[in-house]
Structure 1
Amino acid sequence: MKKFKKISLYIFFGLMALSLLTPFWAFRDLLFPYITSKAFFFRIAVELAFPFYLFLAFIDKNLRPKLKNPLNLTVLVFLAINIITAFTGVNFFRSIWGNFERMGGVYYLLHLVLFYFYIQLLGQAGSWYLKRFLQSFIAVASLVALNGIVGWLGGPVLVLDPSLPVRVSSTFGNPIFFASYLMLPLFLAAYFAVQEASLGKRIVYGIAAMVQMVGVYSSGTRGAAVGLLVGLFLGLIIYIALTKKPKLRRWSLSAIAILVIAAGLLYSNYDKLAPGSTLSRLVNLRDRNTEARLIQWKIAYEGFKDSPLVGVGPENYYVIFDSHYEPALYEYDASWFDKPHNFILEVLVTNGIFGFLVYFAMFGLAFFAFWRAFKFELLGLLEMCLLAAGLIAYQVQNLFVFDTVSAGVAFYAFMGLAAYMWVESKVGEGETEVSFVKATSPVFPLSIFAVFAAVALYLVYITNIASLEASKRINFGFAYTDHDPKVAAQYFEDAFKLPFNIDLRESVGRYSDFANALAVNGPSQGLEEQFVRSQLETATGKLREIAEQVKNDPLLWSRLATNEMNMALLFTQDFSQASTTIEQTISLAPKRTELLQLRLQLYGNNQNWSSALETAREITNLNSYNSRLQWQLAMVEYLSGNMEAAVAEGDRGVEMGYNFNSLQEFAWYIQYYQEKQDYPRVAKLLERAIELEPKETGLYAELALTYAEIGDVEKAILLAKQVSASDPSFSAQM
């Protein structure tokens, strides 16, 4: 039994070390590869470690979690609140499993909580295991940062970094996610640099911290920069308050003064920095992105007031965003946000006030754990201040970002260290540990191991491999849409045959997009009508089934409405079902113009121009920042027979910067100004028309005559000669 225990501990440690490699993975075959790859890898590692954890905890009481530890209890309470609010929330399935784009939810949190307790077992098994684990954590973070920096400098990278050359995201695909992950290992590296007695090791850890600091800077992420500054500032304040060395206190005060002055000067003079530079981006807090975030936070607060006690459930912020949408956001960002880009606020609106308070209790108790460790001399003052500064920096940057898989791993690793410090300080306080209790027979513990090993393997397949394979097949199907639609259809069909899929919404949505692409392009691709109709009907049926289950997802309903309109246009000519679905869609997000566009399209298909005009006006009232929508209103006014109103709206659209996409959409506009003999305006319009239709000789002829009317004889003669040479039939006119 002792030998098996030793082997189990080694394997367990190996799996834990393996889980730290999570940030490296980005498999391009998957949907959202920078997210799903990391999440599936981490979850599989945690699940494989689970039977070893149970076995070790069962045979050795010293390795069991200390439930008297208030930090452990708080972490478990936070998990319990997430489970409860998943049941009371508005979308249970999404709350439990999350989706491919974010990979969050209760199931993800459960893995983080297990990971947290796994770390404590490593510490309880021996400080060597925990130290090596944390050293591995620092090494991985440093390599990830170094990979990003090398790419920033023009060197080779492990995976494609889509943020280069302006910003760096390394293996994360998003600079914000990259910086968020580095926050805690950066301070952990600084902690080890201070703790180590060996100068060589101090230098190594110091270099690791600096590499990660440069990684954060190269990401150009303001939230992380603010977090670092606030963390360092408050860490110094704590150090000054507690140090007994006057000289160090004076130096620390000087450092704070320099920090404050430098930050103040940069912030107040951001407009004097090179536009677009990393430093300019970091210190400019008055840009459009900041304005958009403030509006998002206002939306989140309005949603919180609807359900303050239990929130809407994990991963369900989208319901708040859609129902409380502020059209002012169209000026900055028209995206459909499923996160408020403020993790603290997200906890409040999804888990309610109780979840919010418990989350902050976790933070407070972790901070107190480091304080206790300092009081019982497990930590030096500077070590404690660095760890506390890391916690503060992480939570401050959370005000500007949402949780991600790798950042969650980093946070719960840090929390695990705090819990270990708490236990160790209790020992220092005089609490005795339970001695090793040997099992009387190896049969029972080995039986437990065998059972839970089977359970773990089943979970690895059903909740990870199956969904991973579904993600891959859906992605392949979507990729083959234009290349070979029938192969694409087979990929989609195979994906839906898998036993489990955590994100049917995204999968069916991609299939729906494929089917709609067939509806538009099928005839030109020579596809049989029966094949196109079959795919569209199947996609519509699947969408209807999921939409009826969820009921509160406007994007899902809008896809269904689009499918039903295409079915009516191509096959049935009956728009009644599409009309009902469109109204259901709009009711879920009444201030989103994208949904009102569906109603406008329906009225246009039915040539109901009076209703179309009313809807087009409603759209521009909600979003007065979009020149395309302004021109759309002009077109509807024109089709409604209101020429003067059409021209007035068209003028407004052109003034807003609308750039015509086809001659057909503004031929009437040219004709109107020709009749009004506004030749300077006609010349500009004809010049744009020629850009769109360069082979249309008649346009050149009209432009030559227009130049003549303006009095630009030189241009008129030159263009007339070109027209006559190109097409002699215009010679007399020229």
Structure 2
Amino acid sequence: MSDKIYLLILKTGIYASLLSVFLVFTNLLFPFITSKQISFNILIEILFVIWATFLVKYPNYRPKWSYISFGLVAFFLALTLSSFTGVDFNLSFWGDIERMLGVFHLLHFLVFYFIIITVMRKWDDWKWFFIVSTLFAIIVSLKGLGEDTKTYSTIGNTAYVSGYLIFNFYFCLLLFFKEKASSLKWLYLLPLPIYFLEFNKANTTGALVGLGFSLIVLFFLYGILAENKKIKLATLSLFVFLAVFSGLALTYKDSDFIRKNSLLAPIAGIDVGKNTFQTRLISWKAAIKDFKNHPILGTGHGNYAITFDKYFTADFYNFTRSETYFDRAHNNVIDIASTSGALGLITYLSIFFATAYYLIRGYIKKYFNVHEFVLISSLIIAYFVQNLAVFDSLVTYMGIMMTLALVYWFYQEGEDSIVDDAKEIVANKAKRMTSSGVDNKETYTLLGVGVIVFIIMWNYNILPLKMLVGTIEGQKAWAQGRAEDTVEIYKDALSYNTVLDRDSRTSLIRIFASNPNAYNKFPASDRLEVANYIIDLAQKNVDYNPGDSLNQMMLAQVCDTASKLVEVGGDKFNYYNDRAMDAINASIGASPGRAPVYFQKAQIYLSAGNSEKAVETLKEAVALNEEYYDSSCHLGRTLIYLGQTEEGYEYIGKCIDMGGASLLSPSGLVKSYASHFNEEGDTERVIKLFDRLVKLNPKDTSVRIDLAKLYAANGQKEEAIETAIEISEIDPTVESYVNEFIDSLE
């Protein structure tokens, strides 16, 4: 093929890669992630075959030496090396389904970069590339704005949406300043209000800080570099205004002026004291503490969870009771330092130092005009700053690779005449085309690389795709009550033995780990066989990394559940119970500050009839953090179950007082607790328990009637009236009685 055809195919493929942002296949596990990444992988692998063949036939098109390219290659080599030296190679290199950020997937972005710098030969190529990207961003924004709640759009995460919009915001500005036709120029600014509305709705603190800081830098740079005195004065004035206004807005972020203004309200969310920041601070401290243990190559790319677990303390529960497992540091720099060590961090930062070098040197040499220099610099700053509170995703990896490639192109265009290179290519084209050796090389490369890439594509993209489809089919079967079909479908899905089976196994394990009665849906003769299969799946996940606290706990859960299927005290029981105890001890050893793991250990002791050890273990959990009411709830419930009612109700009382009534169930148990505290005349606790009963039985008017009476007796007239009105809404036939009750209160 001619070089023009190769370039057309490759450019079309690169443009098409931007479509991945829209892909959400609901028949896949984690559809917002897997749909995009697997599709992107397959496309890039196909393009890689064409690109490699193209470079063999037309060597003059090979990318030139660049510190940016060197930094990228060095960084990905560091990540790859850390995968081999880390604690879990599978997670490091292949990644998991939830994130799909293993080295294998990241290497596709490196290829994406190299193809871009190969085929983007003139500004028109870039112009249409950015036009396509910004048009797609409009669609993503409109989709998000049309959603009632969180603005996930087609991307699936508000932080990812925000990062995606930052890139396209700056792409629009680049198009505006590069456009020579004044009639078209202003069209490129039309998407900005749409982006801003969607960005504002996403309300992601890290992205807000990143974009805001980059705009301050933007006006500062314009103020310093602009040649026109009026522009210099205006931009410096804007810089001062934004800097001062930002400082005042952050200082008075709780004022009505900020909170009641829809445009400024997101600033109120920038608070170092809020729970999400505090939990991330705990996470970052863990990484810093552990760095000395793995200073060169870290724990292995993607293995941040083991560090977080190791230094997890129960104080974490003071800020949140959910999202207590961090598989990322939520700070790109800290995450890279923790998982790939100093080597990973140095090579990562080298990419940005190289970019800064080319930007500054290129600006001095007039390769970049002031607009190009300022906008690209500000974009990279926005990206870097926002990543201090989050981590990369497909859309931001694509965005940064496009940006780095753009810097490469601007600088190379300045260093070498693209026109002259093109003439040289044309002059030598006839000679190359008549060489049978070159033609043979083209054929051999196409076939050789094509076969290798097809094998990679089949094993690491197509087969995982089949596995993911099967996983969803298995989940559907379970939801439809087809228990036996569920296991068979999962067995079929996992029969492909893909490198990404981990999350599929986990999805089936969770069904049985969280639902001990799940085995009752199978014939009695099959239950133990199913249990052994589930245990085998859990063990395979543990084998990746025996230091994984969560996987060890799930293994303990399914082993404990299996022990309930056999005679207590028998050999099989002891086998399952011992395996459960070994796994739960390993889980606690990996993360000794996690109270819920102790709950599971207590359950294993109870299964074995060792009530004394169960209580002792739960008291250990309480001691980890007295304010974590979950522990008091579990201990109190267990003590009452064991007949130690006096001490048990003492802990149930603490559980209720700290807000733990929401954990108590079923209704019969909650009623018995309410009866006990009613006898003691503890109306406050009784009210909280009846409020819980209302939530457990939302259509039961009798519970609400009792709650309304309790409110009235306790002098809580407004709550009594509100509850009475709810009763009439559920059962209109009692409206007259409700009105009499309300009148009696007034």
Q: TM-score, normalised by structure 1?
A: 0.87
Q: Could you say what secondary structure the match of 1:341 adopts? A: coil
Kept after mapping to 2: 8 A contact 1:518/1:532: no
Summarize deviations over 1:235-285 as a string: whole Å, max 9, x none: 222222222332222111111122123323322222224479674344332
Structure 2 equivalent of residue 63 of structure 1: 61
Shift of 1:565: 0.6
Summarize deviations over 1:412-454 as a string: whole Å, max 9, x none: 1111111222222322799989943543221221221122223
Kept after mapping to 2: 8 A contact 1:609/1:639: no
**One of 439, 444, 447 as aligned partner of 1:447:** 444
Q: Distance in 2 between matches of 1:518 and 1:613?
A: 23
Q: Distance in 1 between matches of 2:715 and 2:92?
A: 69
**One of 549, 571, 576 as aligned partner of 1:554:** 549
Structure 2 equivalent of residue 8 of structure 1: 6
Structure 1 equivalent of residue 656 of structure 2: 654
Q: Could you say what secondary structure the match of 1:481 adopts? A: helix
Structure 1 equivalent of residue 128 of structure 2: 132
Q: Distance in 1 between matches of 2:104 and 2:341?
A: 19
Shift of 1:211: 2.9
Kept after mapping to 2: 8 A contact 1:274/1:280: yes
Letter in 2 for 1:374: Y
Shift of 1:491: 1.6
- How much is the aligned-residue C-alpha RMSD, in angstroms? 3.3
Shift of 1:382: 2.0
Q: Distance in 2 between matches of 1:679 and 1:139?
A: 63
**One of 343, 349, 357 as aligned partner of 2:346:** 357
Q: Find out whether 1:195 has 2:197 as its counterpart.
A: no
Are residues 672 and 170 of structure 1, via their aligned partners in 2, closer, same or farther at CA, if it must alter by over 3 Å? Answer: closer
Structure 2 equivalent of residue 371 of structure 1: 360
Shift of 1:694: 10
Are residues 607 and 668 of structure 1, via their aligned partners in 2, closer, same or farther at CA, if it must alter by over 3 Å? Answer: farther
Structure 1 equivalent of residue 89 of structure 2: 92
Kept after mapping to 2: 8 A contact 1:686/1:699: no
Kept after mapping to 1: 8 A contact 2:547/2:586: no
Q: How does 1:111-126 map to 2 (within 5 A)?
A: 111-124=108-121, 126=122
Q: Could you say what secondary structure the match of 2:564 adopts? A: helix
Summarize deviations over 1:541-594 as a string: whole Å, max 9, x none: 232233234212222111111111111111243222221221122111111112
Are residues 710 and 447 of structure 1, via their aligned partners in 2, closer, same or farther at CA, if it must alter by over 3 Å? Answer: closer
Q: Distance in 1 between matches of 2:220 and 2:174?
A: 17
Q: How does 1:208-607 map to 2 (within 5 A)?
A: 208-271=191-254, 272=256, 273-274=258-259, 279-286=264-271, 287-333=274-320, 334-335=322-323, 336-427=325-416, 435-436=424-425, 437=428, 438-439=431-432, 440-441=435-436, 442-483=439-480, 484-498=482-496, 500-516=497-513, 519-523=516-520, 525=521, 527-571=522-566, 572-574=572-574, 575-607=577-609
Q: Distance in 2 between matches of 1:711 and 1:204?
A: 64
Q: Could you say what secondary structure the match of 1:21 adopts? A: helix
Kept after mapping to 2: 8 A contact 1:299/1:326: no
Are residues 63 and 259 of structure 1, via their aligned partners in 2, closer, same or farther at CA, if it must alter by over 3 Å? Answer: same
Q: Could you say what secondary structure the match of 1:573 adopts? A: helix
Shift of 1:311: 0.8
Q: Distance in 1 between matches of 2:219 and 2:225?
A: 10
Kept after mapping to 1: 8 A contact 2:24/2:31: yes
Are residues 115 and 629 of structure 1, via their aligned partners in 2, closer, same or farther at CA, if it must alter by over 3 Å? Answer: same
Are residues 681 and 394 of structure 1, via their aligned partners in 2, closer, same or farther at CA, if it must alter by over 3 Å? Answer: closer
Q: Distance in 1 between matches of 2:228 and 2:684?
A: 77
Q: Find out whether 1:106 has 2:103 as its counterpart.
A: yes
Please, which runs of 5 or more residues in structure 1 have no aligned partner? 153-163, 716-734
Are residues 102 and 303 of structure 1, via their aligned partners in 2, closer, same or farther at CA, if it must alter by over 3 Å? Answer: same
Summarize deviations over 1:120-158 as a string: whole Å, max 9, x none: 11124x444343223322322233223323x15xxxxxx
Letter in 1 for 2:95: G
Shift of 1:684: 4.0
Q: Distance in 2 between matches of 1:173 and 1:699?
A: 40
Letter in 2 for 1:238: L
Q: TM-score, normalised by structure 2?
A: 0.86
Shift of 1:688: 5.8
Q: Distance in 1 between matches of 2:558 and 2:381?
A: 49
Q: Could you say what secondary structure the match of 1:400 adopts? A: coil
Letter in 2 for 1:560: L
Please, which runs of 5 or more residues in structure 2 have no aligned partner? 567-571, 721-746
Decide which moves more: 320-329 or 135-144: 135-144
Shift of 1:515: 4.3
Kept after mapping to 2: 8 A contact 1:339/1:346: yes
Structure 2 equivalent of residue 632 of structure 1: 634
Q: How does 1:678-697 map to 2 (within 5 A)?
A: 678=681, 680=683, 684=687, 687=690, 691=694
Decide which moves more: 527-536 or 459-468: 527-536
Q: Find out whether 1:665 has 2:669 as its counterpart.
A: yes
Kept after mapping to 2: 8 A contact 1:376/1:428: no
Decide which moves more: 640-649 or 288-297: 640-649
Structure 2 equivalent of residue 142 of structure 1: 138
Q: Distance in 1 between matches of 2:232 and 2:700?
A: 79
Q: Distance in 1 between matches of 2:708 and 2:21?
A: 62
Are residues 378 and 710 of structure 1, via their aligned partners in 2, closer, same or farther at CA, if it must alter by over 3 Å? Answer: closer
Shift of 1:303: 2.5
Are residues 663 and 133 of structure 1, via their aligned partners in 2, closer, same or farther at CA, if it must alter by over 3 Å? Answer: closer
Letter in 2 for 1:603: Y
Aligned length in residues:
692
Structure 1 equivalent of residue 741 of structure 2: none
Kept after mapping to 2: 8 A contact 1:62/1:434: no
Shift of 1:639: 4.6
Q: Could you say what secondary structure the match of 2:302 adopts? A: coil
